[in-house]
Amino acid sequence: MLSFSFSYPIIALEREKMVEKTMDLDDFRVKPGSKVNLNDRDTSGKNHFNDDKESGQKALAEYKEDIARIQDVLYAEHKHRLLIVLQAMDTAGKDGTISAVFEGVNPQGVRVANFKAPTLPELDHDYLWRVHPHTPGKGEIVVFNRSHYEDVLVVRAHNLVPEQRWRKRYRHINEFERLLHDEGTTIVKLFLHIDSETQRERLLDRIDTPEKQWKFNPGDIEERKLWPDYMKAYEDALAETSTDWAPWYIVPADHNWVRNLVVAGIIAETLKKINPQYPRPVEHIEQYREKLAQPVNK
């Protein structure tokens, strides 16, 4: 079971007391074989933290340090692989999450793969053809900003292929991810969950804020009309493809600090479970100290 805890300062009767609040990451995990009703899933997440943003940000900083430290070992060991899948509705903050959580990591060992609308050559192949080359190699962390799940989400919401075709893809995806797992890849899948009102507010903010206007796409309004279709598509995808080897986590994302803290906690605890180790040094390494003390011939 993945869990973490941190302390919150609470002022009561004019004196500061420390109370410990434990957040069980399994609260966000989709149990394999379970049904998912997104209306029943909290999008604020504040109840998990007593709405204590200050302590939450301190805990986030600690988890970012853990991620950076363990990622350095993971890269050096060159043995394990970590794939992080990010999916969300528009404005849920995939880019912001990546920036906030992976600040300070060694860029040599972390890659982000963005999956836009498929190109013509990609459409000429099966839908997983364009995905596999971007999976992590040994020592790498790869973040999928959108992913192969677009082919059971966008494709379904827009009715681009018949149901008989996209419904088979749940099995394809489970088998594809099982292959990656069996070959040594740890997989964590994160659905950043916002409500429709939060999305509306963020779209308005993009219109009203000059430095954010470049993010606004009129097509977002048309996509928003399909909200119920997307929610149903997400519910089925989460239920059908959350497995022991590639679990889904539903992350409350109405508030950036909550979203970032939950994501950082999940990733940090996953890395701790992998438990990479630095490679053994060359034998009798101390002997080379004397050799380095000798002057270099010029």
Residue type, 9: P
| pLDDT value for 142 | 98
In 3D space, the residue among 87, 108, 51 whose CA is nearest the CA of residue 261 turns out to be: 51
Compute the distance between CA of residue 100 and CA of residue 45 in angstroms, rounded to an integer. 18
141 falls within a domain: yes
pLDDT digits (tens, 9 = 90+) for 106-145: 888 999 999 999 999 999 999 999 999 999 999 999 999 9
Domains of the chain: total: 1
- CATH code for position 186: 3.40.50.300
Token reading at 190: 């994160």
Q: Which domain holds residue 272?
A: 27-278
Please tell me which residue, 114 or 1, carries the higher pLDDT value: 114
Number of Cα atoms under 13 Å in the Cβ half of residue 28: 31
225 falls within a domain: yes
Burial class (CB in 10 A: 0-12, 13-18, 19+), 119: exposed
Neighbours of 61 (CB within 10 A): 14
13 falls within a domain: no
pLDDT digits (tens, 9 = 90+) for 164-190: 999 999 999 999 999 999 999 999 999
Find the Cα–Cα–Cα–Cα dihedral 161, 164, 170, 171, rounded to 10°: -130
| pLDDT value for 184 | 96
224 falls within a domain: yes
11 falls within a domain: no
pLDDT digits (tens, 9 = 90+) for 19-50: 233 468 888 999 999 999 999 999 998 778 77
12 falls within a domain: no
19 falls within a domain: no
7 falls within a domain: no
pLDDT reading at 211 higher than 90? yes
